[in-house]
Amino acid sequence: MKTRFPLLWTIGRPLLLVLSAGLLSFAMLHKPPAEQVKGYYTAHLQQLHTALTDFQQSAQRADTTRLRAHFAACRREYKHLEFAIEYYYPHAATRLNGAALPETEPGEPGEVITPAGFQVLEEYVYANPDTRANRDLIYQEIDNLLYEVRHLEQQLPYLALSDAEVFDAVRLNLYRLAAKGVSGFDSPAAHASLPEAAATLKASREVVAMFGAPAPLTTLLARCEAAVTAPNQDFDSFDRARFFVRYFNPALAALRQAQVHQRIPWVAARRAVRADAVGYFVADAFDPSFFAPADAARPTAAVLKLGEALFSEPLLSGKAGRSCASCHAPNRAYTDGLKVNSSLLADAGLERNTPTLLNAALQPDQFYDSRVHFLEDQVHAVVSNKAEMGGHLSEAPTLLRKKDAYPKLFAQAFASEKQPVSERNIRRAVAAYVRSLVRLNSRFDQYLRGDTTILNDAEVLGFNLFMGKAQCGTCHYMPLFNGTVPPLYDKTESEVLGVPAKADAQLLALDADPGKFLLYGIAHQRHAFKTPTVRNAALTAPYMHNGVYQTLEQVLDFYNQGGGAGIGLSVPNQTLAEDELNLSQTEQQAIIAFIKSLTDVQEVPY
């Protein structure tokens, strides 16, 4: 462009740009906060589109260092968007940043979903990108990401945000950061969890600032950001325990207080973590009723008293003389201390180890193979299983009516029903009792709630290792420390670990149990089992689905070597990384000390 006043143009053009930017910012500031957030989301989505396009254009010629720099820039940009994409477009979020493992949807168990997105791309970029084939894979995976981004851009005209939803999305994303982000779940090869956590925290701070959030909240989020980017620390040395207690939990409490102060309502969604909870780690954060069916019995004192009685009642098994408590002994954290319990069919053991019922209510699937969803269905399945209890629930009401105490207990528990002693109410009462066995008051919980004197140095180190170098937290998600996926907890993950049939290193053989494969015959689910909770594990030996390991030391050694593949077994579909963890004996003992701090001390609440 030519001008008659080149000097004035030279001076004026930057001035015009500044004025334009200022006017744009002024216009944005006068929009309602939710609209400002949409503008923020739109701008960062466009920036992600640009960054991915630049990445793709250099995919074939850039050196490894440059490729990784492109990848890091794109992932950081995604972290600014994650709160909204995960909230409003969860399917797109899975395609953009899901785990690099094949999956199946519960409603379509025969349909295998091929992994795609940043985690798949990360494997290519951080493996050996200097081959033509790998460069082509990188190019194609970026193409997959661009497809999803273009789809999100097409949805922009239809995206309507509310104040309540934005606060809810930010809160859930902070939960995601705690349970998955700082554990390395979605950065397994790049090990960029801390800088990416900083991007998440920065985005959270920028978004709440649009609502005029009070200074304590923005200051605490800034301190969280500073903590994860502090000098002289890396992924392994990062003190997660101190981060959660000193910075993260206060930020969550401040976020709630800001929402109250702004008179922004809570979303009406029914979820595992209460929408109005003060934080992730408070005693009443989780709502067990979320995992219950619509007709679940209300946990009144009368229902729980009946459920506890039925739990120990041999009549449920007819003539077999076995009750739920025969295998789930309350004084053993509701396990039996056996490798496997005995079968009623023959002089043999059952197929699988007896799991604890403590916190069994806080998961959407039951049994090692996740074959039923609700505890009510689990009660029916166990009672009617010929090898386990050998009973017939249809006959149980007649037997129970003949026992003096039960007609009164049922009448008190289900007072509004004409025939309270019924098969349905047996299931409901026992399930309600099991649902009452939520225990989230261990010494570790008390530590996270502010009593920093209750854990010793070894236990704190063990937690930091569990959530960091040892990679335990990438499958046993905090704070439940099981395989129920945060932050919505509406899905249970199963893993293929390559568990041996015997602990003897001289008799190595993969355990023959096909696990979840028996349900639908899906190849990648062969030998897959639900990830159990680590809470109260000090009380629930022996370990693994087959009870092969008697001690936590044996379990840690198995993981330290890389699971079944690491100890020499052929497990082609193993989901556990087969690389050695290189944990020293001191580190392994610290992890065990942490696990022991998860032993609960809470009393029965009725």
Tens-place pLDDT, residues 162-201:
999 999 999 999 999 999 999 999 999 999 999 999 999 9
Q: Which residues contact 336 (CB under 8 A, 6 or more apart)?
A: 326, 327, 328, 329, 354
pLDDT at residue number 601? 66
21 has pLDDT over 50: no
Q: For the whole model, what pTM was predicted? A: 0.91
Pull the structure tokens for residue 574: 């193993």
Model confidence at 16, pLDDT cuts 50, 70, 90, reads very low
pLDDT at 29: 56
pLDDT of residue 17: 44
Dihedral angle over CA of 370, 372, 374, 375, nearest 10: -80
pLDDT at 134: 87
Q: Is the pLDDT of residue 243 over 60?
A: yes
Query: Residues of the chain with pLDDT > 90: what percent?
Result: 85
Asked: is 32-161 a CATH 1.20.1420.20 domain? The reply is yes
Using the CB atoms, write b or e for 360-374: b if 16+ within 10 Å: bbbbbbbbbbbebbb
> What letter would DSSP give residue 389?
T
The angle at the Cα of 468, spanning 358 to 602, to the nearest 5 degrees, equals 25
C-beta atoms surrounding 345 within 10 Å:
12
Q: Which of 278, 266, 303 has the alpha carbon at shortest distance from 165?
A: 266
CB 529 within 8 A of CB 515: yes
* 382 neighbors 396 (Cβ within 8 angstroms): no
Note the pLDDT of residue 582.
97
Distances from the Cα of 200 to the Cα of 62, 115, 250, 252, 467, angstroms? 28, 23, 17, 14, 18
pLDDT attached to residue 221: 98
What pLDDT, in 10s, does the model give residues 30-80? 799 999 999 999 999 999 999 999 999 999 889 999 999 999 999 999 999
Tokens of 316: 């449920």
pLDDT band for position 319 (cuts 50, 70, 90) = confident
128 pLDDT band, cuts 50/70/90, is: confident
Confidence of residue 505 (pLDDT cuts 50, 70, 90): confident
Number of neighbours of residue 284 by Cβ within 10 angstroms: 10
Q: Residue 324: pLDDT above 70?
A: yes
Query: Residue 244 carries which DSSP code?
Result: I
17-31, 129-143, 554-568: which range is least confident on average?
A: 17-31
Question: Across the strands, what pairs with 226?
Answer: none
Question: What pLDDT does residue 110 have?
Answer: 66
Mean pLDDT of 125-142: 86
Q: What are phi and psi of 544, to 5 degrees?
A: 80, 165
State yes or no: pLDDT of 14 exceeds 80: no
Task: Give CA torsion, residues 225, 230, 234, 235, to 10 deg.
Answer: -20
Least confident of 28-32, 284-288, 413-417, 490-494: 28-32
Predicted local confidence at residue 129, as pLDDT: 64
Q: Identify the CATH class of 454-596.
A: mainly alpha
Least confident window among 110-124, 371-385, 588-602: 110-124
pLDDT above 90: residue 104: no
Give the DSSP H/E element, type plus range, for residue 595.
Answer: helix 585-596
Distance CA 429, CA 309 (A): 9
Nearest to 471 by CA among 62, 247, 193, 153: 193
Does the pLDDT at position 10 exceed 50?
A: no
pLDDT tens digits, residue range 437-446? 999 999 999 9
pLDDT of 107: 63
Q: In the chain, where are the structural domains located?
A: 32-161, 163-269, 289-435, 454-596
CA distance 536 to 251: 29
Judge whether 289-435 and 454-596 match in fold: yes
Asked if pLDDT for residue 316 goes beyond 90, the answer is: yes
In this prediction, residue 15 has a pLDDT band, given cuts at 50, 70 and 90, of low
- Report in angstroms the alpha-carbon separations of 212 from 43, 82, 224, 261: 20, 22, 19, 11
At 356, the pLDDT band (50, 70, 90 cuts) reads very high
pLDDT of res. 109: 64
DSSP-derived 3-state class of residue 496: strand
The Cα 325–Cα 550 span in angstroms is: 22
pLDDT averaged over every residue in the chain: 92
Which of the listed CATH numbers 1.10.760.10, 3.40.50.1000, 1.10.1040.10, 2.40.50.100 matches domain 289-435?
A: 1.10.760.10
